[in-house]
Structure formats: structure tokens, C-alpha cells
Chain A
């Protein structure tokens, strides 16, 4: 055990974890909207749009996140019309490439979580709303969406934790997040165990934080 190394590298890793958190929150927020959009497409449409939404979630859940990041970061730079369009201002930054990849990935999982939550709502709730003369639109926004959000909280909590681990892949596209800095320190000092202990504890701390926040939200909104 090299205690000096632990004390010296802790501040560096702690600063790097801010990048990790930034990546996580940006991609979770964008991903939530993508997920909600595709979940609604799949519930409301049984035709082509529903099929497209299914294909989207199948492709993003069936391929590794690493492939998705590489396609966006290395692949899109090669296409002429992307480089000439305004999109290039975003896609030339590794940070935004990572955020887009993470958001699309978590969006696919979120759409599955929300879809199954919508489908498990008891028909009685909707019928009760209808018999009270509430319009379909209000039933959807005031009854179905709040219940679906409550139902999907446990699964969504897991998804946040999986995404926290997923952000470590940002280090493969030159971003210095927690894993990126950890790898840098390991490869300069050749002391993997010490660095793993600190970086691992920071990740575990965030995991527990997310876990207990979701648990308390579940308790608050249980019925």
C-alpha cells in the first residue's frame, strides 16, 4: 500500500468525478425525454412509427455502448455533409459525442421501462377517469403519466446506476473523467490497486447516493 499515492491522487480523482457527474446528468436528462417520446410512440402506435420505436430500442440495447460511442465520435466525422452542417459544431467535441451516445443508449432502456410501466397501469384507473367524464388528454397527463413514473422508479434507479458505470467509457474518446484520470495515474505509477480503491470508492459512493435517493422517492410516492 502506497499511502502517499492515495493522498496525492484523491484530489485529482475527486475533481475528475465532477466531469463524470456532468456527463451523467446531461445524458440522463436528454435520455429521459428521448425515452418518454419513444415509449409514447410505442403505446399509441401499432403501425410504422411503433415499429421504428421498437427497432430503435432493439438496436441500442443489442449493441455495446462502446460501439455506439465509436460510431458517433469516429464514424460521423468521416461523413461529408455532417462536417459541413451546423451539427459539426457539436459533433467535433468529444464531450458532446459522449453525451449523445449515452443519451441515445439510456433513452432506449428508458423507453422500455416506461412502456412496461404504462402497460401495467390497471385499466380500472382509466375507466374510473372516463366514467367521471375526464377527457382522454387529461387522463393521460394527470393519471397515466404520474402512475407510470411511480411504477418505473425502481427500474429507473437501476438504469441511472448502469449509466453512471457507462460514463466510464467516455475515457475511450479522450475525455478525462473519473476512469480516464484513474487510468492515467495507473499507467504512470503502475500501482493499480491503490488507484482502484479510491476511484472505486468514489463510484460506490455515487451508487449508494443514487440508490438511497430513489428509495426515498419510492417511499414518498408509494400508494
Chain B
């Protein structure tokens, strides 16, 4: 038990901070994913074949290739890509990008592909009459999207987004390979220096279970709140 105490002799406080790091990366990643999804969902639903192709390319590749491979691509490729851009502007020193940003960005791209599919499904399940009614009432394209489609889309996609959140939360454990100190990395460090991997990896499992348990409670409450009147 001494190993888990807070303070200098135990790993309690380190693991506590690492849990917040996992949460921070997951939230950043899912928000980045939403931005990607809001860009690619319209492309997916558009009538233009070329735009469709781009969106399908994105979602198919990301959902068909292992997460770890995508993380390696950004981890090893990210800094060289940025250095290449910087060299155009005449800056030739080595640039190391932040592990947090690389991790959040690569997980964000992955969760964006799943969110795109969720949003597409939600928009397609909105009654066609709603689109026609808004046309009859003379809404233009943008007010129609922001005032009628978007609010309903968000409500309909809450149940499936909770799956995306779970996937994203669990995927952040893979960023530990880039050296970002979140739950998995911290347990790895602790297990290495105390030679007690069973204890620390079990603690990591418990921490993830706590995170998923409470986030599911919150999402269920949101689902009830936003489906009032339906």
C-alpha cells in the first residue's frame, strides 16, 4: 500500500496527475475529432462525387488501419513535416513538437472518422419533411443548418457519440509510445522502477474503468436531458 501513497515515497500523486492527463488528451482529441467530423460530414452527404470520394477516402483509411500505425505516422512524420514547412521560411533548426499535441492530433483524426459516420447517420435519420418545411418557410441554407439540422443532429448522435468517446478514451493509452506521461506511461515507469508490474497495470485498468464508468453516467444524463419532449 505504501507504493500507492501520495508524496515522495509513493506513486499515488503521479498516477492521479496522469489520470488528468489522460482526460485532458481524450477531451482535446474528441474536440479535434468533432472539427474533422464537421468538415467531412457535409462532404460525405454532398451530391458531388469528387467530394464524396475525399470523405470516403478519409473514413475508410482511418477506420481500416490500426491506430498504432497512425500514431507512428504522426509521431515520426509530424516533426519532419513541420521542419519541411519551416525550412521553406528559412528556419533550419531541429523542431520537436509537443507529445501532447501529436497525441491529441493523431487520436483526434481517428475519432474524427468515427464521429463523421455518427453525424452522417444522424442527419440521414432526420425526417425529410423537416428539410422541405424549412425550404417552404424560406430559410436559407445556413440558417437551416444551424437552427434546424444541427440541434437535432446533436441530439440524435449522443448515444453513438458515447461509443466514440469510449473508443477515444481507450485509444489514448496508445499515445504512451510517444512518451506522453498519461496513465499507461506512468504505470510503465512505476512498474519499471518498483518491479511490480502486476500491481501498477492493475491500477491502470482500475483507473480506466473509473473513467469509463463516470463518463457513461454523465452521458446517460445528457441523453435524458436532451431527449425531453421526444
Contact = CB atoms under 8 A, between A and B. Distances in A.
Interface string B189-212: 001000111100110110011001
A196 B72 contact: yes
A63 B209 contact: yes
A58 B205 CA distance: 12
Interface stretch (A27-35, A85-93, A124-132, A168-176): A168-176
B87 to A, nearest CB: 16
Given A79-B198, A182-B72, A67 B66 contact: no
Contacts of B205: 59, 63, 67-68, 71
A105 B202 CA distance: 16
- Range of interface residues on A (Cβ < 8 Å): 35 or more
A123 B198 CA distance: 46
A192 interface: yes
Interface of A: 58-59, 62-68, 70-71, 74-79, 161, 164-169, 171-172, 179, 182-183, 186-187, 190, 192-193, 196, 199-200, 203-204, 207-208
Given A67-B201, A75-B198, A204 B65 contact: yes
Nearest to B172: A64
A171 B66 CA distance: 12
Provide the main secondary structure of the chain B interface.
helix
B170 interface: yes
B64 A186 contact: no
Contact of A71 (B72, B166, B202, B212): B202
A212 to B, nearest CB: 13
Interface of B: 60-61, 64-69, 72-73, 76-77, 80, 166, 170-171, 173-174, 176-177, 184, 187-188, 191, 195-198, 201-202, 204-205, 208-209, 212-213
Given A64-B208, A75-B197, A179 B184 contact: no
B54 to A, nearest CB: 16
By secondary structure, the A interface counts as: helix
B72 A64 contact: no
A106 B174 CA distance: 18
A40 B79 CA distance: 51
Contacts of B80: 190, 192
Contacts, number: 113
Top 6 nearest A-B pairs (CB, nearest first) are A168-B66, A75-B198, A64-B173, A74-B197, A192-B77, A207-B64
A68 B202 CA distance: 9
Nearest to B213: A62
Contacts of A66: 173-174, 176, 184
A168 B177 contact: no
A66 B119 CA distance: 29
A172 B72 contact: no
Contacts of B188: 70
A67 B204 contact: yes
Contacts of A187: 76
Given A63-B170, A186-B72, A203 B202 contact: no
A2 B95 CA distance: 23
A72 to B, nearest CB: 9
A75 B202 contact: yes
B209 A200 contact: no
Given A59-B209, A62-B208, A179 B66 contact: yes
A70 B201 contact: yes
Given A167-B66, A204-B65, 4 more contacts: A78-B197, A183-B72, A193-B73, A204-B60
Pick the most buried of B69, B72, B201, B212: most chain A CB atoms within 10 A of its CB.
B69
Contacts of A74: 191, 197-198, 201
A199 B69 contact: yes
A78 B77 CA distance: 37
Contacts of B67: 165, 168
